[in-house]
Amino acid sequence: MLRRTLAYFLCSSLVTVAQQRPDLPKSEPEPDVRLPNGKLQRDEILKAEHDKSLQDAAELVRLSEELKQDLEKAGSFVVSIQTIKKTEEIEKLSKRIRSRLKRS
């Protein structure tokens, strides 16, 4: 009986807390902003982000090839600090590209 009462009060307090949670404000769609040349600002931003992603992808390929060459040259137990730094740069580039793709 005591367990049921405690469970009831626990559930009712959780429901009360959930109902008191403020609703997130609804975001209104932003109006289309046009640039002086007549193009949509959003389209230009997306195009610039796409171009930057292509540049980052080319850099990613270059670093990956260098990493592969470094690993082939290195022994099985020795890895240089520069090689580790390349892997960190590869990771940063891939995260940047992924974040741009998610925003698109």
| Mean per-residue pLDDT, 32-38 | 83
What is the average pLDDT value for the chain, to the nearest integer? 81
Given this model, what pLDDT does residue 79 score?
86
Residue 76 clears pLDDT 90, i.e. is over it: no
Q: Please check whether residue 86 lies inside any domain of the structure.
A: yes
Residues near 64 by beta carbon (within 8 Å), at least 6 away in sequence? 90
Residue 104 domain boundaries: 42-104
Split into its structural domains, the chain has a count of 1
Question: What are residue 26's phi and psi, to 5 degrees?
Answer: -80, 130
Residue 37 lies in a domain: no
12 lies in some domain: no
Least confident stretch, 19-23, 31-35, 58-62: 19-23
Residue 66 in domain: yes
**Residue 4 included in any domain:** no
Domain assignment present for residue 36? The answer is no
Q: Tell me, yes or no, whether 46 lies in a domain.
A: yes
Q: Which of 23, 26, 22, 45 is nearest to 34 (CA)?
A: 45
pLDDT at residue 58 in the model: 95
Q: How far is the first Cα of the chain from the last one, in angstroms, to the nearest whole number?
A: 55
Answer whether 100's CB lies under 8 Å from 55's CB: no
According to the model, what pLDDT value does residue 96 have? 93
Q: Quick check: is 17 in a domain?
A: no
pLDDT at 36: 85
